[in-house]
Structure 1
Amino acid sequence: MPNPHSIPSGPQDITAQWLTDVLGVPVDAVRVEPIGTGQTGATYRVTPTAPPESRLPPTLVAKLPAQDPAIRERCALGYRSECAFYDEVAASVAVPLPAIHHCAITESATDFVLLLEDLAPAAQGDQLAGCTPEQAAPAVTALAGLHGPRWCDPAWLTFTGTAMPKPDANLAAGLAAITRTALDITLDRLGDRLADRATLERVADLTERWLLYAPDRFSVLHGDFRVDNLLFHPGDARITVVDWQTVSVGLPARDLAYFLGTSLLPPVRAERERDLVARYHRALAGHGVTGYTAETCWQDYRIGMLQIPVLTALGFAFAAATDRGDDMVATMLDRGCRAISELGTLDLIASECD
């Protein structure tokens, strides 16, 4: 029988005794069922049987690392990032999150467990289908709730729970070199499925300057804020943000650009982005952000669009290929390249980031 104080090595270790120990209430029995199709980890619905006085929710969600040891090693930084976010950041920001009941991680970060609120029947967004402007509106407000409360907080400069710290010159140069390799791999693997190869080929030349743009504006970033990482609640406009394995520190509007550029269909994005960026800017002011004009926010949004090809290529080039993954990446890159072209992002970076 597993030590009840240990981190479960798999779903078989999420036992009634283990739940009793970590939740501090008696649990008589438990049922554990897999949900989701995560490539970097495993998610399970946990149904405990407990006395009524325990006041446990009927179900919980448990997140564990991938069962493949090689994937665990590769994703350890992301596991550490997610646990650090829930442990050290979540209470200080105003982004809608699932409630957390338990979080534990080993020193190596290859083993962890998160025990979270089960938000069913809320449904995950569909990256291929995209979202509507009505769904995007609460999402950009949520982003302001992530960025605004600790806007330019100096503590972010020494925060160790990130997958990517705020870039300095050395980090920017190294990441630009990796991005060039990732873009070459992506262009080779996806070939003619990419409609705008010229834009992607130019991105690597600008990545280093882009990463060092506006160093005096920063906050904690989700890093992969897109519709696939949002839960939509039926019957109302609420959303919940999940999957915090790419937490980073940098220009806040990178999250905003990445979301609108990848999650709205291009004609819809072009028609509604001004309004949605303005909504985000107003929400930042509601969290006490001052001295940040609407014009600067719009420029940051345009420049932030480079987050799409950089992050998407980095994620794609070094991950196992799947049919849906290839479709999703090709779609995100095509949407992103169109936004970059229409917003004049590359020329703006070339002129503003010297």
Structure 2
Amino acid sequence: MSPSMSNNIRVLRSDRLAHSLIKLTTAPPPPGSSTPSLGIRISTNKLQSLWAGYGVISRVRVVFVPPCSGDLDLSKFGSLILKQVAPPPSLCSSSLKEDVSHLRKLKSYQVEAAFYSSEIPAELASRRAHVPMLIDRCGDVVDEGGLELLLSDLDNEGFTSRLSGSKAHVEAALTLLAKIHATYFERKLPEGLWEQACYWHLETRLSELRDMSDKRLQSAAPALDRRLRQATRGMTLLHGDAKADNLLIGDDGGVAAYDFQYTGAGLGARDVAYLLVSSCDARTLELEEASLLNTYHAALLEAGVPPTFTRDMLQDDFDISVADYMRFMDGWGEWGNARWARKRTNVVLDRLEKAMKTSGDWDGAIATVYSQ
């Protein structure tokens, strides 16, 4: 980095990422034009802090000083997104080396870096499934300087509004999820992702399991988890945290997704159940559940999933997925459409308890009632 630039770059810890940003946001002047000598400053606007103080997300752009005038206006360029992950020193002490929550968060950022560094974003883009593209990366969450991810800004592609809970918006989100799920339907995933996607999966939520008040659901939880982990068909790439806060509506009505910390393998219905529980308008969900699942299943087939994956199979996966997410909420705290999820879960457990009279245990009941 030249001395003249070093005093102006404040937001980036990495010289490499600073040069990436400058290179990508500047363009040569038109033929025949003349421009004054310009200084360069990287402008940053903090968008949000990461959960539990693990870093920040900012929108960054190059600003030229002084601003240009006339036909060649270089004062504004398309922005990029900078995700800086650096757990506070107090969270990196030796006492936390075995802390499940801390380790889960560290791994989630490593997974996200692996996702953006893989071929997945480009393959999704080829199917018009919009996600950020990696511009550059530096470091790792366990390094002293932390991890920096420089990403394309979905705002530049017209995705400027947060998803609402309306039926139209939720259907658009389900269509995006279907494209993602169809792309890797029953395919091997790239290395570095979660072997079991979704931040609430049981293996990393044993303290919430112990804290559950619904003892019937608590008893069934390990068998529900096994059904989801060991399914013999329909495994695919999941977003893993597909809620309204991580989805944007575009000018054309399409949806883009970001925040892939918990992406990995699983049944697509897990993303669907979480979206509907977390982000769908309550009245819409009560009246339109079947219609919403029809929309998702039709989008799966249109995106290339074989018709051997039937609507009934989706329903079975969905029922188990709702009960599994209710398991997490029962031990962690209820939010979103928890009342609806509780009611649907009780229907699932009633059916399983009836089947247990002949099958003997939860696993046998699940195998009897739900397709594998």
Does the TM-score normalized on the shorter chain lie above 0.5?
Answer: yes
Aligned counterpart in structure 2 of residue 96 of structure 1, from 100, 111, 130: 130
Structure 1 residues 108 and 294: alpha-carbon distance in aligned structure 2, compared to 1, 3 A threshold: same
The match for 2:63 among 41, 49, 58 is 49
Question: What is the alpha-carbon distance in structure 1 between the residues aligned to residue 225 and residue 154 of structure 2?
Answer: 40
Give 1:133's aligned residue: 167
SS of the residue corresponding to residue 45 of structure 2 reads: strand
Deviation, structure 1 residue 208: 3.8
The CA deviation string for residues 297-319 of structure 1, in whole angstroms up to 9 with x for no partner, is: 222222221342355578x5xxx
Alignment of 1:24-103 (within 5 A): 24=23, 28-39=40-51, 40-49=54-63, 57-69=77-89, 71=91, 74=103, 75-88=105-118, 89-93=120-124, 94=127, 95-103=129-137
Report the AA paired with residue 254 of structure 1: R
Matched residues in 2 for 1:225 and 1:254: separation? 9
Q: How many residues matched?
A: 311
Unaligned runs of 5+ in 2: 4-8, 27-38, 93-101, 353-361
Structure-2 residue corresponding to 1:7: none
Contact kept? 2:243, 2:275, Cα under 8 Å: yes
> Which amino acid is the alignment partner of residue 47 of structure 1?
R
Question: How far apart, CA to CA, are the structure 2 residues paired with 1:334 and 1:184?
Answer: 21
Question: What residue identity is the alignment partner of 1:210?
Answer: R
Match of residue 244 from structure 2: 227
CA deviation map 1:98-129 (0-9, x unaligned): 3432234438478222222333472334xxxx
- The structure showing larger relative contact order (alpha-carbon pairs under 8 Å, at least 6 residues apart) is 1
Moved more, 81-90 or 202-211: 202-211
Secondary structure of the corresponding residue to residue 335 of structure 2? helix
Matches of 1:166 and 1:36, distance apart in 2: 24
1:311–1:104 distance in 2 versus 1, CA, 3 Å: farther
Quote the offset at 1:240 in angstroms.
1.4
1:347 aligned to 2:347?
no
| Cα displacement (A) at 1:140 | 0.4
2:335 alignment partner in structure 1: 330
Shifted more, 66-75 versus 143-152: the winner is: 66-75
Higher helix share: 1
1:6 aligns with none
Moved more, 298-307 or 16-25: 16-25
- Look up the SS of the partner of 1:98 in the other structure: coil
Q: Which residue of 2 aligns with 1:20?
A: 19
TM-score, L = length of structure 1: 0.73
Larger radius of gyration: 2
Letter in 1 for 2:153: D
- Cα distance, 1:232 vs structure 2: 2.7
Unaligned runs of at least 5 residues, structure 1: 4-9, 168-174, 188-196, 317-325
Aligned match of 2:150? 115
For residues 208 and 59 of structure 1, do their structure 2 counterparts lie closer, same or farther at Cα, with a shift above 3 Å needed? Answer: closer
**SS at structure 1 position matched to 2:131:** coil
CA RMSD of aligned residues (A): 3.7
1:67-119 Cα offsets, whole Å, 9 max, x none, are 41455763221111111111212222343213432234438478222222333
CA spacing shift, 1:54–1:64, aligned 2, 3 Å: same
**1:181 is matched with which residue: 191, 207, 221?**
207
Amino acid at match of 1:58: G
Structure 2 residue matching 1:262: 3-state secondary structure: helix
The alignment-based identity, stated in percent, is 21
> 1 CA distance for matches of 2:41 and 2:55?
25
Q: Which of 102, 109, 124 is the matching residue for 2:162?
A: 124
* Corresponding residue number in structure 1 for 2:312: 295
Structure 2 equivalent of residue 282 of structure 1:
298
TM-score, with structure 2 as normaliser: 0.70
